[in-house]
Amino acid sequence: MKKIIRNADVLYQGTLQKLDVLFDENQIIEVGVNIQEECEVIDAAGLTLLPGLVDVHVHFRQPGHEEKETIHTGSLAAAHGGFTSVFAMPNVVPSPDGKEVMEEYLKLIGKESVVHTYPYGTITKKEQGKELSDLDGMSQLGVHWFSDDGVGMNDQNLLKEAFEKGKQDNFIIACHTEDLKYRPQGGSVHDSKIVTEKGWIGIPDECESEPLKNDLQTALAVNGKYHACHISSHLSVEALREAKQKGGDVSAEVTVHHLLLEDKDVKGPMWKMNPPLRTHEDRMCLIEALEDGTLDFIANDHAPHAMSDKARPMSNSAFGIVSLETAFPLLYSEFVYRTKRWTLNQLVEWMSEKPAKRFGLNHVGKIEKGYTSDMFLVQLNQESMINADTFVSKGKNTPFNGWSVYAEIKQTIVNGKTVWKG
């Protein structure tokens, strides 16, 4: 069924233009002025039309921890935030480490998700770092991205073996770089005086950067396709820059919270995430590295928890925050509306086109003829307030509750169908 969006400011070929967009359940059919077609009309006067956002790092918790999030609530949260494609991390139960488990997981996603949800398989069985998962079997099902997110992949021989297997089917190996020998018991914040003087235990940069250097060395040695998750440290940026200069097939993401917050902002468990919020210098380094291409795009690491998991002492409260519903409003407000450091087109590229391209999603990330009919309408430049009580995610664990923002998602369209309307 064809539909047409009229009267919106459309992000088209890098600039906002007053255009009509004709689409059906498969693709965008035409973008132009005063398109004549007998079909359903969506009047988007006063709104901006953007390509659906893509997030390569979310946690939907199901199966195994449905009390924290389900595929349905997580995908609704994605739609509420303007995300139309997400990649779900595999630390669920049972572990998606083989063809049979992955088949059932894909069926569950097909039944429950309102957006395109692509599941990661684990690199190693049950994420234990001892034996490779059935990468070939999962690849036969169309899964070409693998991660042991939540734990470091610190056996370089196994990592090398994964890279070698991946060459034929173009796997991407996405790693959470962390070596626990650098993380003291109860570590919860960055290892800097500004937070450790509050009695919290610090985690040094090297906990992330040293295993990253090892991973990059292995990736370069075998020409492996490698992606680094949630980079937070200037030391990691330096290692990535060097690997790219050497021609490595490597990419890296930075999260919304690491772009906006730093160690001085930490007030308690709602600001506890892994990797931790680091110094002002680290944050500015991350921003500049995104701008110069050392960091490739933005991700969320959406990590819903029951509030009881957060309402504990800092040392044993849960790591992570929810972010799908706040990511675009926060980043637009800070970097486009307030500081004008970025253009809207830059932000959308980092949140849509670039992650889509790296993770092999074709015809995703632009509003152009022939591209997938995944889009969202947003009201820009009018103030509203982030209110965790309005989240559709089961998780309400955010440090951004009460923040003032200047972007409010009004409608999200996936495969030509409205899956969220404010």
Using CA atoms, how far apart are residues 72 and 141, in angstroms rounded to an integer?
22
- Sequential DSSP letters for 241-256: HHHHHTT--EEEEEEH
- Give CA angle at 123 (119, 126), nearest 5°: 85
- Show contacts of 347-350: CB within 8 Å, 24+ apart: 348/11, 348/50, 348/51, 348/53, 349/297, 350/290, 350/297, 350/298
CB 212 within 8 A of CB 228: yes
- Exactly one of 191, 205, 301, 309 is catalytic; which is it? 301
Q: Read off the amino acid at residue 360.
A: G
Task: Please give the backbone phi and psi of residue 241, each rounded to the nearest 5 degrees, phi first.
Answer: -60, -40
Q: Would residue 301 show up in a list of annotated catalytic residues for this protein? A: yes
8 beta partners = 19
CB 6 within 8 A of CB 34: no
Using CA atoms, how far apart are residues 153 and 328, in angstroms rounded to an integer?
30
Residues catalogued as catalytic: 301
